[in-house]
Structure 1
């Protein structure tokens, strides 16, 4: 009887010990799950956010970024697991999209993988290197001064058949997917590839047919684009300038004079502007200017390649300020058209 009671007590003790072990095991598993897999990213109602980890960042920098931006709820559990996964030795710079509800394990795997979300790099309506540099830098890690310095370095473009005035033509306005950390070397290489892809065999052959190089097409297209916002007029205006080039008549393009002044607020080109001695002043110098006055859109480049054949040598803005132009074959016709436009400007008190 006594033996039976002792046996029952032993069973009870073993049961209790087993229960304690089970509870401890479950607690360990739960803690492990909490640290590794449980959601640790809460974004206050947002589905996702972008985290930027600059080039040269150390592990401590990452912890500071995640803390200051409120990305992780429990930085201690993140830090513990990061150290177990050797993340401090594998910090990768980049632009990362992080989703609400992400656990530590998934977050660490993402950050150490270097699998960034690409930037949709967009630029349009660009007149100068400074403007281009600023717009690109606003979307990339690289600063504007580094981009500008690259655009001013002759050695960057000589092997491409370009120079510091025409090198900007590599940047054909569009939207490109690139990584935030691309850097100036990678950016230039990417734009060169895109430039070569645009200037395929068919376009290069067409350029030869019309007697222009791809660079000259780009320069002329920049003038055409500056003259009109009406896409349907591009080929006709290009035809005017092609007629003048073929007859060795100065282009006399007002946008080139405005570019030479550097004052893009000018609404009316005056005689004092025409007197500016600049290779971009096509009233003073025949032929094309030495570089583009804006970055031409792809459709304008194609409009130059397929310019309209006609006998027009002149055009003037319509006095209704519709943005369209009236074209003329003779100088007398042009003078009459220009007079009507000048009168419309006078009536609006536009004198500069």
Structure 2
């Protein structure tokens, strides 16, 4: 009799243990994707809000069991804001532990070429809890930027194309602290010395590199391109860089710059203002920056697109030679357009 009772009790206990194990320690996710993200906002970092999101989004199969386990593991008192990756196949125990320990999924901020503060703010606003308006507010706060030695025009000089890893709820100041750390690591004593030899500060070198970045994609001619602008800069000539006009107009769709465009009143219009613009016009690559810092010594003052339409340029020392090069390019362009027009009229694709 007693043996039979003990056996029944053991069976019940084993069944209960199996149920608990199945319910709390085996897969309990309710989606087919590889993973889904749970966002807990800083302003609403409460267990109640997080639990409602878990319920409404059908993250798990058994919300009631999750709630039971969460209270047993003190999650309501330890919930933390952030972005959490719930992977397909996770158990309730795994999810509760992840949230209780604040083990966020990192966010990668991938910066390539950006042109304006608005572009950067929009990128950050899409990736993080803070919106673009908060980022713009930070970048327009002159007092804050002054502590880093920058202003509202030069703040982009802290931004180098790279991949930066943060947590989703990182604030704008913390985001820029990491960008500033990258800026400091880029400007090694060697690069600072090279800039000094050119008569440039790091920010001015970066600004010049931003112009070169916009002028040519050909790495092999970026140094020569930089030498043209350095020669103009050092002799007091206006840089007359077309990309600065596009920046001044905030119209980056322009394919050609006409006389009407050159009239825009802006400190960035280097057809009207002598010297470098007050800040970068894009975020240049490190290769472009190094090409500027190691620009060869030349006497070139002019350049024009190559007539072979390779995307490269022809350089010249005198204005007379430049006019001949420009004429050669224009003739090649006229010929190309005539051929294209003839094909269109004949119906040839």
TM-score, normalised to structure 2's length?
A: 0.91
CA distance in 1, matches of 2:88, 2:41: 22
1:23 positional shift: 2.0
2:47 aligned with 1:59, yes or no? yes
Partner of 2:345: none
Separation (CA, whole Å) in 2 of partners of 1:248 and 1:178: 44
Q: Tell me the alpha carbon deviations over residues 169-191 of structure 1, each in whole angstroms, 9 at most, x when there is no partner.
A: 11111111111111111111111
Residue 131 of structure 1, aligned match among 97, 110, 119 = 119
Unmatched 5+ residue regions in structure 2? Answer: 339-349
Q: Which residue of structure 1 lines up, in the alignment, with residue 245 of structure 2?
A: 257
Deviation (angstroms), 1:344: 4.8
Say whether the 8 Å CA contact 1:140–1:180 is kept in structure 2: yes
Indicate whether 1:211 and 2:199 are aligned: yes
- Determine the C-alpha separation between the residues in 1 that align with 2:131 and 2:91: 33
2:288 to 287, 295, 300: 300
Q: In structure 2, what is the equivalent of residue 89 of structure 1?
A: 77
| Pairing 1:117–2:105 present | yes
Q: How does 1:107-256 map to 2 (within 5 A)?
A: 107-256=95-244
Number of equivalenced pairs: 337
Larger Cα Rg: Structure 1 or Structure 2? 1
The 5-angstrom pairing of residues 318-333 of structure 1 reads 318-333=306-321
Pair 344,62 (structure 1): closer, same or farther in 2 beyond 3 Å: farther
Distance 2:310 2:86 in 1: 48
Measured after TM superposition, the shift of residue 68 of structure 1 is: 2.9
* Whole-angstrom CA distance in 2 between matches of 1:314 and 1:146: 43
Residue number in structure 2 paired with 1:43: 31
Looking at structure 2, the residues matched to 292 and 215 of structure 1 have their Cα atoms a distance apart, in angstroms, of 8
Question: Which of 57, 71, 93 is the aligned partner of 1:105?
Answer: 93
The answer for the alignment partner of 1:334 in structure 2 is 322
| 2:62 aligned with 1:74 | yes
Q: Give TM-score scaled by structure 1 length.
A: 0.91
**1:72-104, Cα deviation, whole Å (9 max, x unpaired):** 111111110001111011111222222222111
The Cα of 1:53 is off from its aligned counterpart by 2.2
Q: Secondary structure at the match of 2:86?
A: strand
Q: Paired residue for 1:8?
A: none
Deviates more, 1:253-262 or 1:13-22: 13-22
Q: How big is the alpha-carbon RMSD for the aligned residues of Structure 1 and Structure 2? A: 1.8
Q: Any conservation in 2 of the 1:319–1:340 contact (CA below 8 Å)?
A: yes
